[in-house]
Chains A and B, each alone.
Chain A
């Protein structure tokens, strides 16, 4: 983020662009009336940004708070991992503290997993009418966002396994903490193509259900956030996942 105190050069540069932009704006005499579709789409976008599925615990205070909650959970509930439904199943951990769900993995997984994304994945098939309009590739994350004509988003994200120093203090060996707001959320676990997939569903409007699918290959965590996505469609997305070269 830019510093608060700008140099004279930076101020002059900013002002030059602002003058130019202002003259473009003033040249447009037509009133601006946004369509109902636009208003709905922007409203949904604002809700989407507010909900922020993957909230990385990025301050010491939050880490300590979550560490405390997890220690409490570990002390009061069965520590055993979710039983494998079949041999070789790729599974991970989920906890519910009443406010959010957290997802994690074992210390062994963390030791094996890459620290930065080495292979980026992307769905080769997405539900009809969705087109790609945003891609983000950083060392710790890849994200592809698609939007349909109604402004609904389909977002695929890939995350490295991430841990805090405190995480390894847990006797269970549970590693990192990733969280998702659990308010009004229904959770289901399904086995799909050898992966344990957590499906989190929430009704956002009448007839509009938002789903988050979460799974891991023990190298990365993956999630898809979508609207009214069926399990069949998700399986189609999952089976069409391909490695991609990023710029």
Chain B
């Protein structure tokens, strides 16, 4: 089977896409407006986000809460991309390239295997938005660094760095919470 990053292919998908638009576009707009403080630009951001969602519809999680988080983040980063272009902010090239560790990190594995929801949530909520988002898209939405970079309007190196630092910070926070101490 050829897996194209195709737009919506059948009526079932179209129905779900339409439902997602109806259900979340107002919240997507509020998220975009919180970034851009402008009605017109926020609408543009939501349109861009919805187009991106349609193009990569196979990336939309099937679970409702994850789909909601995904769509709202699509709106947030569509808004941030517009903000960057409006402010003509150049993304700075990172000289320090931190690769995502290909080998399993035992501390992080312990975090991923932990069943202590409350402590995990508490630790994750102490992370900054940037780290939360990159971890969410990488671990929950199973997107590649390249895909995340495209969505966030950042360079792959920046995403790799955030992912690496986010994991380290989360490991530290989890240790403080008593997770992954062996």
Please give the residue numbers on chain A whose beta carbons come within 8 Å of chain B beta carbons, in ascending order: 1-2, 4, 6-21, 24-25, 27-28, 30, 32, 34-35, 37-38, 41-42, 45-46, 48-50, 52, 54-56, 58-59, 133-136, 138, 140-141, 143, 145, 147, 151, 153, 162, 247
Contact = CB atoms under 8 A, between A and B. Distances in A.
A52 B30 contact: no
A111 to B, nearest CB: 18
Given A9-B139, A15-B121, A134-B48, 16 more contacts: A8-B115, A8-B117, A10-B140, A12-B120, A15-B65, A16-B127, A20-B129, A21-B27, A25-B27, A32-B30, A42-B25, A52-B8, A55-B9, A133-B48, A134-B52, A138-B5
A212 to B, nearest CB: 14
B173 to A, nearest CB: 11
Interface of B: 1-9, 14, 17-18, 21, 25-27, 29-31, 33-34, 39-40, 43, 46-48, 50-52, 54-55, 57-63, 65-66, 68-69, 72-73, 76, 111-117, 120-121, 124-125, 127, 129, 132-133, 135-136, 139-142, 146, 150, 156
A55 B2 CA distance: 11
A6 B47 CA distance: 29
A56 B127 CA distance: 42
Contacts of A30: 33
A140 B132 contact: no
Contacts of B50: 42, 45
